[in-house]
Homo-oligomer: A and B are copies of this chain.
Amino acid sequence: MDQNTLLVKMAIGPWEAHIKRATKLFDEFTDEQLLLEVAPGRNRVIYLLGHLTAVDDSLFTLFGLGEKLHPELEHAFIKTPDRTVAEIPSAQELRQYFNEVHAKLNEAFAKLTTEQWFEKHTAVSDEDFAKEPHRNKLSVLLSRTAHMSYHMGQIALTNK
């Protein structure tokens, strides 16, 4: 196995492990408990569920894999803080979106070649990529894994 292929395995393994752990973490909350704040005055767990879904949903367009599955989440869960948007999807819908987005992403990822992982994402120009070849898809995946870890640390604090 060459180093590039190995590196892809090294990034996708932890990404999938984080999704599994996050799913398990959210499953430990009842729909009602999802409305709890992770700490007094901070984001509610349901907001972080929507946030992680919306942020990862953007990988479809960023990687040129298709359209976002739930572009409607961006406003309530990325652009604005928790409790700004009065009507958000139900807990059940958000759980389903989280699973759907990650399942479809992983399906699409399985078809990417090692070379494609090392190609630029759509938010980098050809010019910039020539100078900064580390701004590839694999780097974005590593960063999304750390992002999930960041919020999982917070969700784990919730007093329920």
A residues with CB within 8 A of B: 1, 3-4, 6-7, 9-11, 13-14, 18, 38-42, 114, 118, 133-134, 136, 138-139, 142-143, 145-147, 149-154, 156-157, 159
Given A4-B3, A118-B3, A13-B134 contact (CB < 8 Å): yes
Among candidates B9, B118, B146, B157, residue contacting A38 with C-beta atoms closer than 8 Å: B157
In the assembled complex, the Cα of A55 lies from the Cα of B18 at a distance in Å of: 20
Integer count of this chain's copies in the complex: 2
Contact assessment for A39 and B41 in the assembled complex, using a CB-CB cutoff below 8 Å: no
**How distant is A117 from chain B, measured CB to nearest CB, in Å?**
9
List the B side residues contacting A42 at CB < 8 Å: 157
List the B side residues contacting A7 at CB < 8 Å: 3, 7, 10, 138
**How distant is A124 from chain B, measured CB to nearest CB, in Å?**
14
Contact assessment for B1 and A143 in the assembled complex, using a CB-CB cutoff below 8 Å: no
Contact assessment for A139 and B10 in the assembled complex, using a CB-CB cutoff below 8 Å: yes
In the assembled complex, the Cα of A117 lies from the Cα of B144 at a distance in Å of: 22
